[in-house]
């Protein structure tokens, strides 16, 4: 059974600590293809932190050497790394954990601050808020307990569930994970029948954590990971909700369907040995959502 290994590098940016809040000091290493990294790109864009925090993109095709900087838009101007693994070894020469994106890098200390997407997204909307050009409160204090509960449910029931389904190697495990995934999607669809976003009229952290899976669902997970019980476009509320989020100012520019599809279909050869990339579904995220 597929089990995601936990992130190991989890320091935090905070005034008074080893990593104080400073414009220009931090850099994000991300993959446009990765839903976990995508969260942080959205947070950076929503907050208006483009001038305060730099970003570099790894190539969507990952081989046995891991995420790589291959040129033509996939470069590392900060350290000149050829592989993201070099950032991990620069932080800890004995590091043997998972080399994953996103990575929040401290340019002054020459080390990784954090490689957990949930932590980084939270920091972008809280610790980095004083540097934001147009800050938004993605984690309102009065909703925090309820949000943490739903964050956990979305992670276990959707974000990670598509992987547990897709990488299942036994029929019974696949069918169990598939049912659990769609039970969660069905419940979220019912919740969205009564409200525009998960907590009301404004999208919050939980919405963006869900969105990065939904935006990949029909083009990748429904086909490649055999999450085939239903398509996103068949949901009465989830489908227009996903379009609403996609059309939120600045968000569409963070979505690269070509890199998303290239990564999944070209990297997971145990699932797709031919490397053929499935055609992009015709249903458009640009279509009016009717929820505003």
Q: What own/partner pairs with CB < 8 Å and gap ≥ 24 does 182-191 have?
A: 182/227, 182/229, 182/230, 183/157, 184/153, 184/154, 184/157, 184/158, 185/157, 185/158, 185/230, 185/235, 185/238, 188/154, 188/158, 188/238, 189/235, 189/236, 189/237, 189/238, 190/237
Write out the two tokens for 158.
Answer: 């959707």
Active-site positions read: 34, 163
Burial of 48 per CB tally in 10 Å (0-12, 13-18, 19+): middle
How many CB atoms are located within 10 Å of the residue 230 CB?
16
Which DSSP string do the residues of 35-57 spell out, in sequence order? HHHHHHHHHHHHHT-TTTEEEEE
Q: Which residues of 251-278 are buried (b: 16+ CB within 10 A; e: fewer)?
A: beebbbbebbbbbbbbbbeeebeeeebe
């Amino acid at each position: 059974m597929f089990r995601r290994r936990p992130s190991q590098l989890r320091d935090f940016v905070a005034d008074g600590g080893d990593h104080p809040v400073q414009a220009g000091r931090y850099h994000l290493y991300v993959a446009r293809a990765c839903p976990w990294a995508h969260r942080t790109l959205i947070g950076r864009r929503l907050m208006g932190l483009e001038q305060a925090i730099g970003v570099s993109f790894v190539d969507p095709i990952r081989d046995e050497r891991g995420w790589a900087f291959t040129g033509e838009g996939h470069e590392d101007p900060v350290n000149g790394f050829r592989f993201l693994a070099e950032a991990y070894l620069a932080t800890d020469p004995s590091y043997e954990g998972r080399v994953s994106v996103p990575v929040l890098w401290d340019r002054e200390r020459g080390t990784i601050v954090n490689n957990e997407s949930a932590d980084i997204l939270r920091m972008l909307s809280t610790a980095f808020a004083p540097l934001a050009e147009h800050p938004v409160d993605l984690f309102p204090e009065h909703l925090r307990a309820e949000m943490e509960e739903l964050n956990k449910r979305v992670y276990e029931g959707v974000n990670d569930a598509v992987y547990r389904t897709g990488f299942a190697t036994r029929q019974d495990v696949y069918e169990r994970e598939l049912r659990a995934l769609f039970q969660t999607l069905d419940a979220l669809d019912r919740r969205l029948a009564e409200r525009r976003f998960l907590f009301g009229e404004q999208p919050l952290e939980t919405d963006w954590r869900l969105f990065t899976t939904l935006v990949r669902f029909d083009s990748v997970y429904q086909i490649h990971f055999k999450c085939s019980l239903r398509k996103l476009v068949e949901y009465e509320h989830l489908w227009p909700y996903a379009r609403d989020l996609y059309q939120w100012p600045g968000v569409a520019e963070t979505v690269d369907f070509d890199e998303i599809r290239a990564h999944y279909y070209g990297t997971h050869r145990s699932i797709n040995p031919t490397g053929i990339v499935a055609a992009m579904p015709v249903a458009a995220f640009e279509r009016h959502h009717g929820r505003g």
